[in-house]
């Protein structure tokens, strides 16, 4: 999260080009949305499992970053590929995500969420319900994304679960009764899926990453240039990690 924010700052200051970053997590980590209360989290389970905890700079609800590919996009708001409001930029990035899924054999869908779902945002699990222009397959959410804007630039990052038990997150969250917890697990499994679930076979992180690169190039008519994190970005990320993302004043602030 600190590196995503460091890249966003560099893009904002025009010391870095618009950036697509692809990464994974070790160890697994539960991330909370920017305004999500810490009371949603079962800290005992996290400790027992050896999973980390972080608060994202973007909104949305909790995600367990486990066997997944995570993407982030940082770009100035005047960039032609993300121009417009939040929903419009979501739609344009969703087009690239759909293209990437097509390349690994998945014909997914992206559309505005229906009005019946708009009041369900209090649920603590991000993958429980799709937001506008998030990616679904046969009605099940397979990519969860969130966006933040500041100083003329945007950061959008998202989770693409590749395989594994997507309902593991339920044990990391608090519910009033065991029955409520079980209902949440059943509901999540009916509303979300991994790439393996929908593809019928395991697709590697590298395969999905290559599909993402090709898809963004095709969708936006650009040539992506692979490069390492700059020394300035890495230094700033370390500072942000120490002062913010690893600090209880940020993680436990709500």
Q: Active-site positions? A: 126
Angstrom distance (rounded) from CA 1 to CA 23: 11
HEC secondary structure over the chain: CHHHHHHHHHHHCCCCCCEEEEECCCCCEEEECCCCCHHHECHHHHHHHCCEEEECCCCCCEEEECCEEEEEEEEECCCCCCCCCHHHHHHHHHHHHHHHHHHCCCCCEECCCCHHHCCCCCCCEHHHCCCCCCEEECCEEEEEEEEEEECCEEEEEEEEECCCCHHHHHHHECCCCHHHHHHHHHHHHHHECCHHHHHCCCCCHHHHHHHHHHHHHHHHCCCCCCCCCCHHHHHHHHHHHHHHHCCHHHHCCC
């Amino acid at each position: 999260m600190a590196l995503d924010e460091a890249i966003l700052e560099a893009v904002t200051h025009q010391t870095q080009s618009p950036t697509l970053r692809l990464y994974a997590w070790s160890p697994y980590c539960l991330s909370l949305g920017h305004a999500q209360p810490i009371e949603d989290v079962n800290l005992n389970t996290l400790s027992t499992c050896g999973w980390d905890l972080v608060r994202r700079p973007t909104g949305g609800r909790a995600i367990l970053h486990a066997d997944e590919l995570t993407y982030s996009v940082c770009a100035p708001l005047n960039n032609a590929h993300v121009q417009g409001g939040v929903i419009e930029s979501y739609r344009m990035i969703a087009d690239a995500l759909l293209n990437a899924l097509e390349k690994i054999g998945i014909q997914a869908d992206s559309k505005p969420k229906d009005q019946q779902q708009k009041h369900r945002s209090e649920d603590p699990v991000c993958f429980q319900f799709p937001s506008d222009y998030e990616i679904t397959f046969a009605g099940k959410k397979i990519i969860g994304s969130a966006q933040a804007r500041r100083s003329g630039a945007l950061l959008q990052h998202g989770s693409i679960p590749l395989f594994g038990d997507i309902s593991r997150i339920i044990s990391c969250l608090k519910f009033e009764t065991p029955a409520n917890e079980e209902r949440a697990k059943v509901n999540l499994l009916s509303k979300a899926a991994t790439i393996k679930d929908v593809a019928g076979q395991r697709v590697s992180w590298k395969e999905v990453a290559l599909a993402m690169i090709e898809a963004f190039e095709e969708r936006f008519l650009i040539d992506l240039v692979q490069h390492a994190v700059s020394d300035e970005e890495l230094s700033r990320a370390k500072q942000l990690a120490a002062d913010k993302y690893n600090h209880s004043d940020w993680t436990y602030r709500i």
